[in-house]
Structure 1
Amino acid sequence: MNTTVTLAANSDWAVLKPLLFQSIGQTLQMVVVTLLVGGALGLVLGVVLYGTRPGNLFENRVVYRILDILVNIVRPIPFIIFLAAMQPVTVSVIGTSIGTAAAIFPMIVMCTFATSRLVEQNLVPVDPGVIEAARSMGASKWTIVTTVLIPEALAPLILAYAFLFIGVLDMSAMAGYIGGGGLGNFAIAYGYQKFDPAVTWTAVIIMIVLVQVVQGIANGIAKRLLRR
């Protein structure tokens, strides 16, 4: 007990502060890159999933079934296990299995599959009548997707991406497993392992603030869109 108290009391914020800012930068880098790339790829995959469903714009039962199974296989895998399983592929693509870039690659892959299902689920409720009206006016399938389907589902999609941000932030917290750094690694290495709850809670509070800010912005944008 005395050892624990001593270690906790000896935290040196002059040393820890630069490491904290570095960790925040690494977390933001991982989250932003993952959301931009994985979010965009997931949007495309989600539209394809929706479009190839029976009775939809690009109906193709074989393509839909293959993609549906693939998404269902990847999504349930715990990310820490997915990191380990993806290691050979990460080395082939990135050239290393250690570091922030090596963490971002599997994060993008997981984010793509997670996003695709969120996108599909938020496109399904779109009123089929609106789509049929656009088709009857001679609009092409991809025109319907970009000018009718996605705009109609934009508010729930924004909220879905805010929810996705939380998931990606959770994934970034596991990046320390492969030397990716970030707030998760900071909390474990300098807080938990050194018996310093102040360090751990500093990282936790920063992550909570990030989530609150993103969720608040998303709620505000979605609210405005729903009022139109």
Structure 2
Amino acid sequence: MFDFPYFITMLPDIWKAFQETVVMIGIALAISIFIGLPLGVLLYVTDKGLFWENRFVKNIFGFAVNLVRSIPFIILLVALFPLTKILVGTTIGPVAASVSLSVAAIPYFARLVESSLRDIDKGVIEATIAVGATPWMIIKDVLLPEAKSTIIRGITLTVISLVAYSAMAGTIGGGGIGDLAIRFGYYRYDNTIMISTVVILIIFVQLIQLIGEQFAKSLDKR
């Protein structure tokens, strides 16, 4: 069932596929943090009773976030082919796949950030406002420091979700572990490759979870 000598000969292809997966996840994660973090903060501070309360802004961005999150990733992947073609000049490969991964990850991470900020005691925010802190100071010196451990856990969950999404992206030309599993494991009924890719993804996810949780605990001073 598992051919070890054959597995050894396939190691270069497996390593290349793993690198492509890491590239996809790395690009998408960087973009999702860069855009999703401020978007999550905006969703929180414009909510009712907060210092930047704005129902219109909250509803507009909230609707956009929910809209993207409601679309199955495989459909989103295909729907974004024209945008991907414009941005990177191609619709195949890990860099092209990272466009759809980023679009899917941004609203997901934004909601995790918003949820993290909601765990903060509003009394802390009110006390900061009482001493004359500006909105930017509240965000920079109160909200983000207080929520940093839960935000790290949110990043961990986002990475794990991106691993699953990247495997789906591989089925339609994105490359990576998913592509290898489909081309060799499924189409060629290659149990060795199928088992290898599944084990690699399991180990990868477990390592991400372990590292993320340990880092979050080190930042949690409660």
* SS at structure 1 position matched to 2:71: coil
Counterpart-to-counterpart distance in 1, 2:66 and 2:186:
34
Is 1:141 the equivalent of 2:135? yes
Is 1:132 the equivalent of 2:123? no
Residue of structure 2 equivalent to 1:163: 157
Counterpart-to-counterpart distance in 1, 2:192 and 2:93:
26
* SS at structure 2 position matched to 1:80: helix
Shift of 1:222: 2.1
- Percent sequence identity is 39
Counterpart-to-counterpart distance in 2, 1:173 and 1:72:
23
Is 1:120 the equivalent of 2:99? no
Tell me the TM-score normalized by structure 1.
Answer: 0.91
- Superposition RMSD on alpha carbons, in Å? 1.8
What 5-or-longer segments of structure 1 have no aligned partner?
A: none
Name the aligned partner's letter for residue 212 of structure 2: A
Residue of structure 2 equivalent to 1:31: 25
Name the aligned partner's letter for residue 126 of structure 1: I
Cα pair distance change 1:10/1:163, threshold 3 Å: closer
Counterpart-to-counterpart distance in 2, 1:32 and 1:62:
33
Which of 56, 63, 73 is matched with 2:57 structurally?
63
2:171·2:182 contact (CA, 8 Å) conserved in 1? no
Counterpart-to-counterpart distance in 2, 1:10 and 1:122:
45
Aligned length: 222
Shift of 1:224: 2.5
Write out aligned runs for 1:207-226 (5 A).
207-226=201-220
Write out aligned runs for 1:30-109 (5 A).
30-109=24-103
Counterpart-to-counterpart distance in 2, 1:173 and 1:120:
27
1:97·1:178 contact (CA, 8 Å) conserved in 2? no
Name the aligned partner's letter for residue 157 of structure 1: I
What 5-or-longer segments of structure 2 have no aligned partner?
A: none
1:103·1:178 contact (CA, 8 Å) conserved in 2? no
Counterpart-to-counterpart distance in 2, 1:10 and 1:54:
60
* SS at structure 2 position matched to 1:12: helix
Shift of 1:11: 8.1
1:100·1:180 contact (CA, 8 Å) conserved in 2? yes
Cα pair distance change 1:36/1:53, threshold 3 Å: same
Counterpart-to-counterpart distance in 2, 1:170 and 1:206:
12
